Chain A
Amino acid sequence: MSEDWLLDLSHVSVTFDGFRAINDLTLRLRPGEMRAIVGPNGAGKTTMMDIVTGKTRPDCGSVRFRGQELTRFDEPTIARLGIGRKFQKPTVFEALSVHDNLLLALRGTRSPLRMLFLRETPDEGERIAGLLGRIGLTARERLLAGALSHGQKQWLEIGMLLAQDPRLLLVDEPVAGMTDAETMQTADLLRDINTSHSVIVVEHDMDFVRALGVDVTVLHEGSVLTEGTLDRVSADPRVIDVYLGR
């Protein structure tokens, strides 16, 4: 049955110096699904992403992506399997132009030796132009990424994720620090992306989650508290307790 899941975390635990960041977490995602993950600070959202992308190795449990066990792979291998990640703090290569950021992200060779001899093909140019249009940065193609505004960096990073063309995107707090208009634009962008990719979004902003209109998983103290539609979840007394009653 596990073959039916795109991503399948089962009974994963990880401890940092006695602190249980993830506690017997089980989380499953269908192909093509977009899922929002919410939870108070310290619920283990970022650590969960660290585990999926290979940054942190779990103490026990299994992480399967399309039936393949991920826990024995390092970050580049997992990325090449088709999992892309956007960090909470926008991380773009500030000393490179917007164009070059996308060029490096484009799916293609990852061998440094081959890259020595590689020059940009017209096809790649077209793909970059398409991506620039999609994230609305066409006019800023030649600008250094370091000169972009905060929101533009967020979009560039999403654009880089799209350039990687992963099967699954992990997006960590994409609208932190954005204006309301930018937030709604980002929600549209993610829904658009979801037509061709599976997505996991971690976000605090409930308006944004509502705008996405997808199922929500509530994490608390390293494990799943509840799952379901936003309306159902927000009516759950346990969730209210976790968010307000602590």
Chain B
Amino acid sequence: MKTSMDFRSVRLAAGLVLLLSAVLSLGSLLPQQGVFSVSPFVVTIVGKYLSYAFLALAIDLVWGFAGILTLGHAAFFALGGYAMGMYLTREIGARGVYGNAHLPDFMVFLSWSDLPWYWMGSEHFAVSVLLVLLVPGALAALFGWLAFRSRVSGVYLSIITQALTFALMLAFFQNGLGFGGNNGLTDFKDVLGFDLHQARTRAALLALTGVFLAGSLMLARWVVSGRFGRLLVAVRDAESRTRFMGYRPDHAKLLVWILSAMIAAVGGAFYVLQVGIINPGEFTPGNSIEAVIWVAVGGRGTLSGAVLGAVLVNFGKTLFTAWMPEFWLYGLGFLFIATTLFLPCGLVGLVGSMGGRAGRNARTDPTPELVEPGRDEE
């Protein structure tokens, strides 16, 4: 697949994300039953879509630009979620079912006497934010370093990313791991002293999600539009050639891989804040594959397409599961098949090529589609 380095749509997407989140969060503060008022349900569900969009963006960075088809990226998303969930769990304090000020409910239930060492510091918001970035980042660094160094690539890499998230899922289902086993972390009360159930808090969270998503989009755009982005594309299309030019493709991949894991993790953190629960189900291998299809639907290698795909597919899922739940899997299944067969460049690619065709007719240049438009963006 060839990517034209056209990132004009990224700014547009970032702007739309900001607009959407701002309008919805303001609308939710208006008195209910008003014309422009937004129900709390919509705020939560859009917050969820936008959190998933981080994951899609992260996948597009590595799949679209470095050719790494990850089938385990939801693991980083979930780890970010757990890191944030730990802080929120500590915030519950003595308001839990057992009223234990030092231990989360599930630990009391397991009759543990002390917090495990890896929960130390989780009561501080700043530490948790660091953990959100560092834990998935460190796992990605370790995994990526091993995989890219030994030149594991293509479907082999896809399969071991699946195995990675599967192993994590099994581990997090264990009660003994200290993350709430089956139930995960939930029943959160507040964040930084703000009540999570209050409309104002939720509106602010949605707005923040929008700001961070737009920021991540622009960050990703900055990463891929520069010289490093060109190296990534070179690595994606002819990895061994870059080696003979003195590049270390494994280092390039590792860098974007870690960055991508961190973006996914931020999504996980926003997800927990708004959805209010994180459990081992998020590690299910199927989740990661589903996230890949969001990217494929929106358009691989476009960044904006990833966000668009995540929101659209999940919106479709909400509609489907409400109206005719038994058909959702058919819908999703056909979406996978149809996208790969008929829409290899995704929706953004479709729009782009329609726009390109319109412009081409006006010009006389024999090979205008190969003119690289991203250059004047610099």
A residues whose Cβ falls under 8 Å from a Cβ of B: 53, 55, 74-76, 79-80, 84-85, 87, 91-97, 99-100, 103-105, 110-113, 115-120, 142-144, 146-147, 160, 164
Residues of B within 8 A of A53 (CB): 244
Which residue of the partner chain A has the closest CB to B242? Answer: A104
A23 CB, nearest partner CB in chain B, Å = 25
Residues of B within 8 A of A97 (CB): 372, 375
Please, what's the 1-or-0 string for B215-247, where 1 marks a CB less than 8 Å from any CB in chain A? 000000001001110110110111011111111
The answer to whether the Cβ of B371 comes within 8 Å of any Cβ in the partner chain is yes
Please, what's the 1-or-0 string for B242-258, where 1 marks a CB less than 8 Å from any CB in chain A? 11111110011001000
Contact B370 A143 (CB under 8 A): yes
Contact B233 A119 (CB under 8 A): no
The answer to whether the Cβ of B3 comes within 8 Å of any Cβ in the partner chain is yes
Contact B244 A84 (CB under 8 A): yes
Given the complex of chains A and B, what is the CA–CA distance between A115 and B240 in angstroms? 19
Interface residue ranges of B246-299 to A (CB < 8 Å): 246-248, 251-252, 255
Partner of A93, one of B4, B241, B378: B241
Residues of A within 8 A of B236 (CB): 95
B240 CB, nearest partner CB in chain A, Å = 8
Partner of A115, one of B227, B245, B371, B372: B227
Residues of A within 8 A of B237 (CB): 93-95
Contact B375 A144 (CB under 8 A): no
The answer to whether the Cβ of B2 comes within 8 Å of any Cβ in the partner chain is yes
B321 CB, nearest partner CB in chain A, Å = 38
Contact B251 A147 (CB under 8 A): no
Given the complex of chains A and B, what is the CA–CA distance between A8 and B243 in angstroms? 22
Which residue of the partner chain B has the closest CB to A109? Answer: B227
Residues of B within 8 A of A80 (CB): 246
Residues of B within 8 A of A76 (CB): 243, 246-248
Given the complex of chains A and B, what is the CA–CA distance between A87 and B4 in angstroms? 25
Known A112-B255, A142-B372, A147-B367; judge A75-B226 contact (CB<8 A): no
Given the complex of chains A and B, what is the CA–CA distance between A103 and B5 in angstroms? 15
Pairs of residues from A and B, 6 with the lowest C-beta to C-beta distance, nearest first? A79-B246, A75-B243, A147-B370, A112-B252, A144-B370, A115-B228
Given the complex of chains A and B, what is the CA–CA distance between A96 and B3 in angstroms? 8
Between B4, B233, B245, the greatest number of chain A beta carbons within 10 A of the residue's beta carbon is seen for B245
Which residue of the partner chain A has the closest CB to B376? Answer: A142
Residues of A within 8 A of B244 (CB): 53, 75, 79, 84-85
Contact B247 A110 (CB under 8 A): yes
16 A-B contacts, Cβ less than 8 Å apart? A85-B244, A93-B234, A94-B2, A95-B3, A96-B234, A103-B227, A104-B227, A104-B231, A104-B234, A104-B247, A110-B247, A112-B252, A113-B255, A115-B227, A143-B370, A160-B245
Contact B226 A110 (CB under 8 A): no
A102 CB, nearest partner CB in chain B, Å = 11
With A92-B241, A112-B228, A144-B370 given, name 6 new contacts (CB 8 A): A79-B244, A80-B246, A92-B238, A93-B234, A110-B247, A117-B226
